[in-house]
A and B are shown apart, each in its own frame.
Chain A
């Protein structure tokens, strides 16, 4: 079953066209890594799909319907650096935010909601830090809190913007285990990823992006030397020679 269909999408930042004619389909129960060099438009693609950045053309459909109708089935994990961790809140507060849609606007979370949030924290190995101020968590712990917030949403399709950036090995493992579990539960996950070394190990599908889709499909078929070269252009060659 196709859960996400992106056709012909273009987007720009001011004068620069960042995405051009992006088109791909994502099937149910897959774990896709979105790979590409800096400035390839990976984060922008997520934002455009989620309606957080305007698109110039094209269309995006979720579960054969529109974003507005399917919002509750979609979970989003922004980049850790996109928020101010000095904000006065503890880990549980942040995880509870994932339930706000279900709690209802202008209503307060009840005990049941708090139990759900605690369970998600526990799943990420963060139960002991539930009442810790988020400013006092390490980078890896903050990322786990973000993941717990996404888990508690109980969405069917997840978008994650570099969840593995700047985290320690233990957190990376915890996050990848969680993503595998989501996949086994029939959820679909798309992850912006930076580390080419781990692509084959982590993802069953790959979307190579450089302003447009360079290649998309099963990792073993698509993640080839040639394709990676085409996506990274001269940048990769330079790294190899160095």
Chain B
């Protein structure tokens, strides 16, 4: 049993590496679309769909639950868009409403399922906080393939994403279809969220999308390197968080991943070469010293001040 589990763990770790990388890079798109919170709303909105899929099938089948989660997540996105465009309510308010309503509905459904006979062994609770170690080999492969697909979409069209995010009006002028880019963006965002739910959980999935890009800002000067570094941080957080959470039986994965990602953020904040706190303090110190030196030089030449 012990050996079997650790062989499984290796695969889980590989898939968490890919999930983290995919989440980190997609997070960069959300970051520059100024929609970091959108990913939080969409991951919460995924919960009811996943549970409904479970209720219909009566057993836990990851592909079906991923599909269900994707449907309700997209439904959430649709509602946010609808509320924003057809009423005077602003986007952040719309996201807050959709997030809480969908999540509330999801929790209600989970409670209902847990009351029924096969509910307790359903593992639905892992959808909330994440339970990477509970994934079976087949789940791992599904996740791995989809995460690789997402990474491919982002890196192949890196130049198009850059144009789309930096200057959409100009991009449209060049003939890049905004509708297509928006659709692909939403598709890959929802895909990353739903494949991450099982392992990270709906509550904390957004952290894996938000924190790595924020950390990457402290190390990078170009969009491409930001994607790479955010992917690296996301993958690192995914692997280390999973590893720590696997040390105790039944420990949830999500919180550990978030802590790992936050640790990387703190390091970036302090040591980052692009406007990290230490670098900034050092630059300020240099400037002060130069100023002081030039002042002494002036005094040295005998020029009287004041």
Q: B-contacting residues of A (Cβ < 8 Å)?
A: 47, 50-52, 68, 71-72, 74-76, 78, 82-84, 87-90, 93-94, 97, 100-101, 103, 105-109, 133, 149
- Residue on B nearest A85 in the bound complex, by CB: B166
**Shortest Cβ distance from A192 into chain B, in angstroms?**
14
A93 to B226, CA, bound (A): 14
A4 to B176, CA, bound (A): 22
Q: Does the CB pair A71–B175 fall under 8 Å?
A: yes
Instruction: Given the known inter-chain contacts A84-B32, A100-B163, please indicate yes or no for A78 contacting B226, CB distance below 8 A.
Output: no
- Residue on B nearest A83 in the bound complex, by CB: B167
A50 to B178, CA, bound (A): 14
**Shortest Cβ distance from B279 into chain A, in angstroms?**
14
Instruction: Given the known inter-chain contacts A105-B160, A106-B156, please indicate yes or no for A89 contacting B222, CB distance below 8 A.
Output: yes
Q: In the complex, which of the residues B170, B223, B226 has the most CB atoms of chain A within 10 Å of its own CB atom?
A: B170
Knowing that A93-B223, A100-B159 touch, tell me 12 more A-B residue pairs with CB under 8 angstroms. A51-B172, A75-B173, A76-B169, A78-B169, A78-B170, A82-B169, A97-B166, A97-B170, A100-B176, A105-B160, A106-B160, A149-B170
Q: Which residues of B contact A133 (CB under 8 A)?
A: 221
Q: Does the CB pair B221–A97 fall under 8 Å?
A: no
- 19 of the cross-chain contacts (CB-CB < 8 Å) are A50-B173, A51-B172, A71-B173, A71-B174, A72-B175, A74-B173, A78-B170, A84-B32, A87-B165, A88-B217, A88-B223, A89-B166, A89-B223, A97-B170, A100-B163, A105-B157, A106-B157, A133-B221, A149-B170
Q: Does the CB pair A82–B172 fall under 8 Å?
A: no
Q: Does the CB pair A93–B222 fall under 8 Å?
A: yes
Q: Which residues of A contact B173 (CB under 8 A)?
A: 50, 52, 71, 74-76
Chain B interface secondary structure, helix, strand, loop or mixed? Answer: helix
Instruction: Given the known inter-chain contacts A88-B220, A88-B226, A90-B222, please indicate yes or no for A105 contacting B176, CB distance below 8 A.
Output: yes
The 7 closest A-B pairs by CB, nearest first: A76-B173, A101-B174, A87-B166, A71-B175, A78-B169, A83-B167, A88-B223
B84 within 8 A of A: no
**Shortest Cβ distance from B86 into chain A, in angstroms?**
11
**Shortest Cβ distance from A234 into chain B, in angstroms?**
30
| Per-residue contact bits, chain B 138-163, to A (CB 8 Å; 1 contact, 0 not) | 00000000000000000011011011
**Shortest Cβ distance from B233 into chain A, in angstroms?**
15
Instruction: Given the known inter-chain contacts A97-B163, A108-B159, please indicate yes or no for A88 contacting B221, CB distance below 8 A.
Output: yes
Q: Does the CB pair A101–B175 fall under 8 Å?
A: yes
A120 to B277, CA, bound (A): 36
A109 to B163, CA, bound (A): 13
Partner of A90, one of B165, B169, B176, B221: B221
Q: Which residues of A contact B222 (CB under 8 A)?
A: 88-90, 93
Q: Which residues of B contact A74 (CB under 8 A)?
A: 173
Q: A-contacting residues of B (Cβ < 8 Å)?
A: 32, 156-157, 159-160, 162-163, 165-167, 169-170, 172-176, 217, 220-223, 225-226
A105 to B174, CA, bound (A): 11
**Shortest Cβ distance from B121 into chain A, in angstroms?**
47
Q: In the complex, which of the residues B172, B174, B217, B223 has the most CB atoms of chain A within 10 Å of its own CB atom?
A: B174
- Residue on A nearest B156 in the bound complex, by CB: A106
- Residue on B nearest A79 in the bound complex, by CB: B169
Q: Which residues of A contact B156 (CB under 8 A)?
A: 106
**Shortest Cβ distance from B24 into chain A, in angstroms?**
15
- Residue on B nearest A107 in the bound complex, by CB: B159
Q: In the complex, which of the residues A75, A78, A84, A100 has the most CB atoms of chain B within 10 Å of its own CB atom?
A: A100
**Shortest Cβ distance from A189 into chain B, in angstroms?**
15
Q: Which residues of A contact B167 (CB under 8 A)?
A: 78, 82-83, 97
A88 to B174, CA, bound (A): 21
A83 to B169, CA, bound (A): 9
- Residue on A nearest B222 in the bound complex, by CB: A88
**Shortest Cβ distance from A103 into chain B, in angstroms?**
8
Q: Which residues of B contact A83 (CB under 8 A)?
A: 166-167
- Residue on A nearest B224 in the bound complex, by CB: A88
Q: Which residues of B contact A103 (CB under 8 A)?
A: 159
A101 to B176, CA, bound (A): 9
Q: Does the CB pair B174–A100 fall under 8 Å?
A: yes
A33 to B226, CA, bound (A): 40
A78 to B172, CA, bound (A): 11
Q: In the complex, which of the residues A50, A88, A97, A106 has the most CB atoms of chain B within 10 Å of its own CB atom?
A: A88
A52 to B223, CA, bound (A): 25
Q: Which residues of A contact B160 (CB under 8 A)?
A: 100, 105-106
Q: Which residues of B contact A89 (CB under 8 A)?
A: 162, 166, 222-223
**Shortest Cβ distance from A149 into chain B, in angstroms?**
8
A94 to B222, CA, bound (A): 11
